[in-house]
């Protein structure tokens, strides 16, 4: 049926179809014209307002518009606020914005404030001027007059000027002040190169160059470094210093001097706790203790641990031979005494000292130096029995050397298990297995007491079981045994001897021609000998004397020695045992095997 209609349409007259199409076109045009004219306002209608999107050219700064974007991007510097902004798009250069008044920038958690700035959005940087302030949370604040900031590198250069005469970085209780500061936000590290000052709650540090990290609290200083503490009253001077503002510990790597009340530390390697004052010195170092009378005690060691609270210092010799170890040295300059050893302790509060590991004490206040050795040596102080004179110390020093002790002076030498030396009376006390040698004489007893004057031994006393031997020639000796014995010396030579109780003697009297041709053995209760220049002047024995005189050619071997006589010259300390006044010269004080065996005997 549809097909029939189409066929009918095609059967219509062509002219009629053309007229029909023209009519339709005319009607459509008329309808379009009505719509267009209907939109035009009539002549009598009220005037419409001007187009609100069409504005005249600006006559003042453009009010900044803050774009909507993610504000926490780590790679972008955002302008957060400014009172006014002028935008420049110069041909061939990046966009520049001049912002003024309460300017605020932000990159992640870092806020930056200033009076005005050049902002380069495309370059992600800005130059800020006037009352510059950087803030990160409530822990980091930086103040400057100018800031040049690269947001891509997150690098700031801060300079002082009229609004801020210095650049200041404040991190909680730490402040860094300088004229010029560079700050790397990525590393959280700031540094200055033309002088600056870092201050925390304890110390003030100044240097030519310095670095500080708020994140780690570590600081580094170079050139003309000074550290001062009002609270702990000390000054530190060095060329390079590493310091932590949390621990207040300074790391020392260059020649350094630390001066405090009464103490002076000289070192080139170590750690110094500026809060407690404890120093751990790792290179050859020296501590000088000065008392109220301006007398100095010096402690020197390859390494030293120093505690100012207890006033105790511990000094060590290097254990590694490759470091060329030297002994610990304690020197009392006022008393002219030096104590050395592989390890030592000095208490400045009590003025006590101890040395171990092949120690040696040298006392050189009375002419010839007295050298004292043992496994351990201690020194301490004693109160004077009488009030001191003006300028004098109220105490005397005492030393103890034990075990396997030995001493040496040019005029007298000795060994004993324990040796005491007292400054107040210049007396050496030798206890257990003591032997003393003077010239060709050897003295033994249960104990021996020796008095030293300015240059030589003055007298010696053997309280019990005394035995003296004097070598004459070959295997002949003058010998004397007594319960007690007393000897006096003149310029190192025996001038008088007294024996008391159970006196036994063997002597070779010298003839007028200085020869020996007879041996005398005698017994009595008391004996006195007087000598001049080493020669016998007078011998007296009383009250009763028994004995024999035997020509030398008839003397038997059994007659040559008293029952307890034994010549022990092989144990006698020698000069090469002791070295010079400071360092060892004798294989660190090793004992001869014979002396070791002697002390091991019961």
Which band of pLDDT confidence, cut at 50, 70 and 90, is reported for residue 220? very high
Cross-strand bridge partners of residue 413: 408, 437
- For the ranges 266-275, 366-375, 572-581, the maximum mean pLDDT occurs at 266-275
Cα–Cα distance measured from residue 120 to residue 79, given in angstroms and rounded to the nearest whole number: 10
- Domains of the chain with bracketed CATH: 435-579 (2.60.450)
Residue 230 DSSP symbol: T
396 confidence band (pLDDT: 50, 70, 90):
confident
Q: Do residues 149 and 155 touch, judged by C-beta distance below 8 A?
A: yes
Query: Residue 158's beta-bridge partner residues?
Result: 147, 181
In the prediction, which pLDDT does 68 show?
58
Residue 19 has pLDDT above 50, yes or no: yes
Average pLDDT, the chain: 86
Residues 405 and 417 sit within 8 Å (Cβ to Cβ): yes
Q: What local confidence, expressed as pLDDT, does residue 390 receive?
A: 67
pLDDT for 190 beyond 50:
yes
**Residue 214, Cα to own-chain centre: how many angstroms?**
25
Q: Which residue has the higher pLDDT, 452 or 251?
A: 251
Helix (H) or strand (E) holding 329: strand 328-332
Average pLDDT (163-177) is 97
Are β-strands 189-192 and 167-171 bridged in parallel, bridged antiparallel, or unpaired? unpaired
Backbone angles phi, psi at 317, to 5 degrees: -95, 145
What integer is the mean pLDDT of 68-72? Answer: 64
What is the pLDDT averaged over residues 595-602?
88
In angstroms, rounded to a whole number, what is the distance separating the alpha carbons of residues 126 and 99?
A: 10
Alpha-carbon span 183 to 198, nearest angstrom: 15
The pLDDT, as a whole number, for residue 91 is 62
Closest to 460 in 3D by CA, of 388, 368, 260, 468: 468
Give, for 29, the enclosing helix (H) or strand (E). helix 14-38
Judge whether residue 580 has pLDDT over 70. Answer: no
Instruction: Spell out the alpha helix ranges (H) of 178-233.
Output: none
Rounded distance between C-alpha atoms, residue 510 and residue 83, angstroms: 121
Residue 148: per-residue pLDDT? 98
Task: Note whether 224 and 239 are within 8 A (CB).
Answer: yes
Confidence band of 364 (pLDDT split at 50, 70, 90): confident
Distance CA 547, CA 509 (A): 14
Place 92 in a pLDDT band, splitting at 50, 70 and 90.
low
Q: How confident is the model at residue 443 (pLDDT cuts 50, 70, 90)?
A: very high
Residue 320 confidence (pLDDT): 87
Task: Of 66-70, 441-445, 465-469, 506-510, give the lowest mean pLDDT range.
Answer: 66-70
User: What's the rounded Cα separation, in Å, for the pair 140 and 171?
Assistant: 5
Q: Please check whether residue 271 is in contact with residue 251, taking contact to mean a CB–CB distance below 8 angstroms.
A: yes
Are the beta carbons of 99 and 87 closer than 8 angstroms? no
Span 460-505, pLDDT tens digits:
999 999 999 999 988 999 999 999 999 998 887 889 999 999 999 9
* Degrees to nearest 5, angle at CA 336 with 333 and 338: 85
Q: Which residues pair with 362 in a beta bridge?
A: 338, 371
């Amino acid at each position: 049926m549809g097909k029939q209609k189409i066929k009918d349409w095609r059967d219509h007259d062509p002219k009629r179809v053309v007229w029909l199409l023209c009519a339709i076109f005319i009607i459509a045009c008329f309808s379009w014209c009505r719509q267009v004219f209907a939109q035009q306002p009539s002549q009598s209608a009220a005037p419409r307002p001007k187009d609100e999107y069409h504005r005249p050219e600006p006559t003042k700064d453009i009010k900044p518009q803050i774009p909507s974007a993610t504000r926490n991007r780590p790679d972008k510097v955002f302008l957060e606020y400014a009172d006014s902004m002028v935008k420049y798009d110069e041909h061939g250069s990046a966009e520049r914005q001049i912002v003024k008044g309460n300017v605020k920038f932000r990159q992640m958690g870092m806020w930056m404030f200033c009076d005005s700035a050049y902002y380069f959005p495309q370059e992600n940087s800005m130059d800020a001027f006037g009352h510059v302030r950087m803030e990160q949370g409530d822990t980091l604040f930086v103040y400057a007059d100018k800031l040049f900031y690269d947001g891509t590198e997150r690098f700031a250069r801060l300079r002082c000027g009229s609004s801020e005469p210095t650049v200041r970085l404040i991190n909680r209780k730490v402040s860094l002040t300088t004229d010029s500061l560079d700050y790397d936000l990525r590393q959280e590290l700031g540094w200055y190169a033309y002088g600056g000052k870092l201050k925390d709650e304890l110390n003030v540090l100044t240097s030519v160059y310095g670095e500080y990290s708020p994140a780690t609290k570590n600081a580094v200083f170079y050139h003309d470094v000074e550290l001062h503490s009002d609270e702990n009253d000390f000054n530190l001077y060095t060329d390079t210093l590493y310091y932590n503002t949390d621990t207040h510990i300074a790391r020392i790597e260059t020649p350094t001097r630390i001066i405090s009340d009464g103490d002076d530390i000289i070192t080139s390697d170590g750690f110094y706790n500026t809060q407690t004052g404890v120093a751990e010195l790792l290179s050859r170092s020296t501590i000088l203790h000065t008392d109220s009378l301006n007398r100095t005690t010096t402690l020197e060691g390859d390494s030293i641990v120093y505690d100012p609270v207890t006033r105790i210092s511990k000094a060590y010799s290097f254990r590694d031979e490759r470091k060329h170890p030297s002994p610990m040295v304690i020197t009392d300059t006022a008393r002219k005494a030096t104590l050395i050893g592989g390890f030592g302790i000095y208490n400045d509060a009590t003025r006590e000292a101890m040395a171990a590991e092949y120690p040696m004490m040298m006392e050189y206040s009375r002419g010839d130096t007295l050298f004292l050795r043992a496994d351990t040596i201690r020194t301490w102080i004693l109160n004077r029995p009488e009030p001191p004179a003006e300028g004098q110390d109220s105490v005397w020093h005492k030393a103890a050397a034990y075990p396997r002790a030995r001493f040496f002076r040019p005029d007298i030498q000795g060994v004993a298990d324990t040796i005491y030396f007292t400054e107040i009376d210049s007396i050496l006390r030798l206890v257990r297995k003591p032997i003393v040698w003077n010239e060709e004489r050897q003295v033994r007893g249960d104990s021996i007491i020796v008095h030293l004057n300015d240059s030589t031994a003055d007298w010696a006393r053997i309280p019990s079981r005394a035995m003296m031997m004097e070598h004459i020639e070959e295997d002949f000796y003058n010998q004397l045994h007594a319960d007690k014995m007393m000897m006096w010396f003149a310029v190192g030579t025996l001038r008088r001897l007294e024996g008391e109780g159970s006196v036994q003697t063997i002597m070779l009297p010298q003839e007028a021609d200085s020869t020996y041709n007879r041996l005398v053995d005698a017994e009595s209760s008391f004996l006195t000998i007087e000598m001049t220049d080493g020669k016998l002047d007078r011998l007296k024995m009383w009250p009763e004397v028994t004995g024999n005189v035997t020509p030398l050619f008839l003397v038997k071997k059994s007659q040559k020695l008293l029952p307890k006589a034994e010549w022990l010259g092989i144990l006698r300390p020698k000069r090469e045992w002791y070295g010079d006044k400071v360092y060892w010269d004798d294989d660190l004080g090793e004992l001869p095997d014979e002396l070791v065996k002697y002390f091991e005997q019961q």
